[in-house]
Chain A
Amino acid sequence: MIKNYFKLTWRNIKANKVLSFLNILGLTSGLFCFLLIYLWISSENNVNKYHENNDTLYSAYLTTTDGAEYGYGTPSLLYKELKEKIPEIEGVTAMSNNNRNYTFSNNKKVLKQNGKYVSEDYFNMFSFNILEGNASTALRNPNDIAISKDMAELFFDNVKSAIGQTLTFENSKALKITMVFELGSKNTTEKSDFYLSFDSLLAENSWMSDWKNFGTYTFVQLTKGADVKQVEQKLKLFLKDYVGAFAIELQPYGDSYLYADLENGSGKIEYVRLFGIIAFLIMLIASINFMNLASAGSMKRAKEIGVRKVLGAGKNSLVVQFLGEAILLSLSSLFFALIFIALALPIFNQITDKNIDLANLPLSTWVMVLFITLFTGILSGSYPAFLLSSFKVTDIFKKKIETSSITKLIRKALVVFQFTISVVFISCMFIISKQIDYVQNKDIGFERESLLAVTLSEDLQKNYNAFKTGALQISGVRSVTKTSHILLGEYGTSPEVIWNGKSDEDGSLFTGMVGSADFIKTYGAKLHMGRDLIHNNPDNIEYLINESAMKQMNMENPVGQTISFWGNSGTIVGVVKDFHFSSLKESIFPLVIRSEGYAEFSTAFIKYNSDNVQQTLASLETLHTTLNPAFPFEYKFMDSEYNKLYKSESTFYKLSTFFSILAILISCLGLFGLVMFTAEQRTKEIGMRKVVGASVFAITALITKDFIKLILLGIVIGVPIAWYFMNKWLANYEYRIDMPWWAFVNTTALIIGIALVTVSFESIKIALVNPVKSLKSE
């Protein structure tokens, strides 16, 4: 019997090529999207969760006791104190907050590598594939370094020979390689070429030992069975004696990736949820297609059902047969979908920055994929199965099966539903693209175009003045400055700003950075009052503050006033108009910029003329090599760095565009199939109409009209839904576009256009048929 079903299914596929093609194409596209998103979601859900100690690893974060500010930045000395004072803590590690590029050299090579500082427990707490060396002792001494296999191979013949060797760090000190690890293809955000001893960083930067400086990440590992709640209770008041009104809280380390927005308990998880919904809806559209095509195509199967019933087939066996067919079709669609996924994964991985490999999926994922496919088959097959098996034999043979009004209504409702979803997808796509466009082109208060960030490595920091003078002699260079931060991204915050009249309870936080002469000129920021920084003199410290800081300090005329930041007293020389120095999702934070200071964090910024950039770059490189022969020339274009801030938005946009296009495509496949069958059912009517003189246009309009009504209804329902969701999404942005009404007009035009083409194609074909033929078909 089963073999018979298989055979018949296969022959039915062959006999109804167009219908089968539409069915399989629709399901394949649906499964393709669904599985791709499923793979992405399960990958996102498992980021950083592969560590053996995953269950006991936590990220520490700080909140102000009034719950106003949240951040992962913690005092740098916290890790030492925690380990000593909280018995439930088995391990703690400090981590410098961002990966940075440093120059390493040996007698063979000079290379920039990317890494960070961590403290001793790090390799015991987090799982690494250690090829050489000992995790417990790897960073015990200040001049120890752990390097990746890739880095070892860059500098040495092989991994084994790297151990015990030395590398020169920033042309200044020799580091001893104590460990070689392998990153492999782990699902991790931790992608460092090397790890240095955090203690050495502390020793070299005394300011870091100030408890009021929250720039370091702290991770803890609790003892097995320790009660997190209890530990958190202890941590709440832990900082009281060190820094005042801040509480330490713990977040499971594995959650830090998806829930990095501590204040709202969200983050990337929003995208995971959103894509989950998209995947589900696309699968639903595809299933609806299948239902509609199969039930509309049932007339063709009526005779077969009749014969089977006459021969004694019960309703159950027919239901089983049609469900079986649907499952078989969905399995073949799965097969095609997997082929497409295999082809698409390289690009998909590139867009999403993932490392998904079909060959490496766990068994559980495959089981889930199979389950989803079977479920889809059953979901899509159930409606036609019950519909077809309920036909009465006598009606079939009398050719009296008419689609009941309920069936017709369901079919129409399904079409409306499909197009509602398509409308929502497409209008969201328009609006998201507009917002991204807005963000990328917004006047952020400084000119990021034609701005180059050049890393000032050790020697160049000492020779900065020579570098600046040399650079200004290059014809393409307009101005040069240096700052401690690149003006885009994460900053530590500190309450350590003191001004005249500051009350004792005032715990306002400021972002601090170090700048130098020509700060405003080079960045193209605008002065509100006062002047740009001029002096780079430690004995004569100048401060620039932004308007928000001025407001925070409640000063009417701050120029000339004395303030102190991290204990360095100086004079405010100017107020700069607020500019965005982090994502547009955040409002502008109070900012103080101090002239001169810790030189190590310096990056030079060069404003250049946009013509002949290559020439300018080449001259800068020559200058760099002359002044700083031990280090490679490293630079970044600020505008492309700025766009990286919105990477997840642009990824989301790219993917949602792709999925929206597929959604509308799948909906149209279904529409096309439905028109085909409507035309078939109305062949006689069409013939009669032509006999009495209806034109091709009139016939086309007749068929098209009914479908366009449904699509219009889909638009009417879809637009408010899209409006609602987009309004919520835009609210995430401190700076956002007004809801663009034209997005809905465009969506309507686009969808009606596509639907018209789809519907007309088949209806014109039918309308052109000679009426004798249409009538004969009865």
Chain B
Amino acid sequence: MIKISNLEKYFTTQEYKTIALNKISFEVKKGEFVSIMGPSGSGKSTLLNILGLLDDADGGSFIFNDEEVVNYKERQRAYIRKHNIGFVFQSFNLIDELTVFENVELALIYTGIKKSERKGKVDEVLERMQIMHRRSHFPTQLSGGQQQRVAVARALVNEPKLILADEPTGNLDSKTGNEVMELLTELNNQGSTIIMVTHSEHDAKYGNRIIRMLDGEKVTENLLSNY
């Protein structure tokens, strides 16, 4: 599904050029659950942003679903994003002024799905995330775990081929964190491809494979289980 080779990313300030990703290469197959680990500043989040087509690379190749996307323009990337990728963030990134239902619905609005269809899809995914009883609440009225469920629901509602999670349990207590991880595992079991960035060894073990990074390079790859 994803194949990156020699991917590079620099950050330049007036005096320094920092290498965020140093010719990194790996492959993720359909249905895999890959955890990416590494200390702060190792380039995990930068990598995830490029994989999610939120940022562009400075060199190398990125093949997504058999398409070379590394030189895509913002419009093309937005198209791939909304049809193929779901995002889950550490800080949930829900829009405070929209209700649970409306936050999830937003993803469908941008893909141009009709109103009548949207309601069914949103309710279905909220049901699945066991957050249906909160559908008319605003994010600030929810607990952290509930907010992350909503974020996951939003990531799932378009039935994306790929889910990208950036430290999804980072803002949660361990019990709630485990619940979210169970949820991701379940999604993976149902066929979703997941790439997750995490600091937590515990969480990383929910995946099939752990990629460890340091200073913008892949250091090791451990296969935990076959999928």
Contacts and interface: CB of A to CB of B under 8 A. Distances in A.
A311 B94 CA distance: 12
Interface stretch (A8-16, A504-512, A699-707): A8-16
A1 B52 CA distance: 24
Interface string A303-339: 1101111111111010000000000000000000000
A311 B82 contact: yes
A528 interface: no
B200 interface: no
A393 interface: yes
Given A394-B49, A394-B54, A312 B95 contact: no
Given A304-B95, A311-B110, A394 B75 contact: no
A4 B110 contact: no
The CB with the most chain A CB atoms within 10 A, among B82, B89, B96, B97, is that of B97
B22 to A, nearest CB: 18
Contacts of B78: 309, 312-314
Contacts of A314: 74-75, 78
Interface in B117-155: 154
A303 B93 contact: yes
A310 B106 CA distance: 11
B125 to A, nearest CB: 14
A346 B59 CA distance: 71
B107 interface: yes
Contact of A11 (B75, B94, B97, B154): B97
20 contacts: A4-B102, A4-B109, A7-B102, A8-B97, A11-B97, A303-B93, A307-B95, A308-B106, A308-B110, A309-B78, A310-B81, A310-B87, A311-B110, A312-B78, A312-B107, A313-B78, A317-B110, A393-B49, A393-B54, A394-B54
A15 B138 CA distance: 12
A312 B102 contact: no
B81 A15 contact: no
A312 B79 contact: yes
A312 B93 contact: no
- Secondary structure at the B interface, as helix, strand, loop or mixed, is helix
A397 interface: yes
Contacts of A4: 102, 105-106, 109
Contact of B98 (A11, A315, A393, A394): A11
Given A307-B106, A311-B106, A397 B98 contact: no
A4 B106 CA distance: 8
Contacts of A392: 55
A314 B52 CA distance: 15
A11 B138 CA distance: 11
Contacts of A303: 93, 95
Contacts of A313: 78, 110
Nearest to B84: A312
Nearest to A313: B110
B54 A312 contact: no
Interface in A132-180: none
B18 interface: no
B46 to A, nearest CB: 8
B44 to A, nearest CB: 13
A71 B115 CA distance: 72
A55 B49 CA distance: 71
B54 A307 contact: no
Interface string A371-397: 000000000000000000000111001
A766 to B, nearest CB: 23
A521 B69 CA distance: 101
Contacts of B75: 314
B117 to A, nearest CB: 14
Contacts of B6: none
The CB with the most chain B CB atoms within 10 A, among A308, A309, A311, A314, is that of A311
A281 B83 CA distance: 47
Given A8-B97, A310-B81, A315 B74 contact: yes
A626 to B, nearest CB: 82
B81 A312 contact: yes
Given A8-B98, A11-B97, A11-B98, A310 B109 contact: no
A316 to B, nearest CB: 9
Interface string A392-436: 111001000000000000000000000000000000000000000
Contacts of A306: 93
A298 B214 CA distance: 35
B111 interface: yes
Contacts of A11: 97-98
Given A1-B109, A394-B49, A394-B55, A312 B97 contact: no
Contacts of B87: 310
Contacts of A311: 81-82, 106-107, 110, 154
A1 B105 CA distance: 10
A8 B96 CA distance: 10
Interface in A1-59: 1, 4, 7-8, 11-12, 15
The CB with the most chain A CB atoms within 10 A, among B94, B96, B106, B154, is that of B106
Given A312-B79, A314-B75, A307 B94 contact: yes
Nearest to A16: B97
Given A312-B81, A312-B82, A314-B75, A12 B109 contact: no
A100 to B, nearest CB: 68
A309 B82 CA distance: 9
Nearest to A1: B109
Contact of B110 (A312, A315, A393): A312
B105 to A, nearest CB: 8
A308 B82 CA distance: 10
